[in-house]
Homo-oligomer: A and B are copies of this chain.
Amino acid sequence: MSKKKSICPLAFALDQVGDRWTFMILRNAFFGMRRFSDFVSDLGIARNILSQRLEAMVANGLFTIVPSETDARVTEYRLTKKAKELSSALVAMRMWAEKWHPDIDFKGELIDIATHKKIKQLRFRTTDNQDVAPENVRVEYAP
């Protein structure tokens, strides 16, 4: 490994969330998990490691620490907007896994909370709001 300041956005993103534990922590957080001990017991992660990850995630603006309103001794890790917007990437990975491994019995389904219908595909939009299929998206470099 050992990459310094990479100009690749993907590498950059991976610097922040490319770690396996970070992903799993995020996943649990998306499901409403907010407390240190809950992460420990659910993920089976060592306390010191979790501590490191959370610290980094706070530093990267993925979590904000908030004292619980109900119990003063309890601290809550709340997802920031930045973190929440990463869910699209996780959803994309989930859809991919479901599509290519239909044999596996995954739990849960992606739904639109407004209409309650199942999510089937991912799309993109141009700056002028035109629909674009994923396979038509490319990275282009200016000379």
A residues lining the B interface (CB < 8 Å): 1, 7-14, 18, 20-21, 23-24, 27, 30-31, 61, 82, 84-101, 104-115, 117-128, 130-132, 134-142
CA distance A75 to B13 in the complex (A): 31
Residue A13 contacts which of B11, B61, B93 (CB distance < 8 angstroms)?
B93
Q: Which residues of B contact A110 (CB under 8 A)?
A: 124, 137-140
The answer to whether A126 and B137 touch (CB under 8 A), given A11-B24, A85-B99, is no
- Which has the most chain B C-beta neighbours within 10 Å: A88, A109, A120? A88
A30 to chain B: which residues have CB within 8 Å? 139
Looking across the interface, which residue of chain B has its beta carbon closest to that of A123?
B123
Q: Given B13, B109, B119, B141, which contacts A97 in the complex, CB threshold below 8 Å?
A: B13
Can you name 22 A-B pairs with beta carbons within 8 Å? Answer: A7-B107, A8-B106, A9-B97, A12-B104, A13-B93, A13-B94, A13-B96, A18-B20, A18-B23, A61-B100, A86-B93, A88-B134, A89-B93, A89-B96, A108-B141, A110-B139, A112-B130, A114-B136, A115-B132, A119-B124, A121-B124, A123-B124
